[in-house]
Amino acid sequence: MNRKSRRALAKASPAEKQMADQVALFGKLPESCTLCSEAFDKKDRDMLSSWKVVVIQETVRLYCPCCIEQTEEKVENERS
């Protein structure tokens, strides 16, 4: 890494970095639910607030409300 890019990295606050990450991820959002393939419209505010985006390493996974419920149930079952 050269001196210039190292300085730029140190300067960026964690919040700024996170914001940049989210913008980058937004462009990578899948167009449908990862589990059931239900279509996702990122212009729909209700969908944006009710769907869940999970980032695992470089992979963006998108879950519709139904699948969120199901995965939460599954987690509950695994826990007990």
Residue nearer to Zn ion on the CB measure, 6 or 74:
74
The CB-of-36 to Zn ion minimum distance in angstroms stands at 3
* Contacts for 64-71: CB closer than 8 Å, 24+ residues apart: 64/33, 64/35, 64/36, 64/38, 64/40, 66/33, 66/36, 66/38, 67/33, 67/34, 67/35, 67/36, 67/38, 70/35, 71/35
The CB-of-32 to Zn ion minimum distance in angstroms stands at 8
The CB-of-3 to Zn ion minimum distance in angstroms stands at 47
Residue nearer to Zn ion on the CB measure, 21 or 69:
69
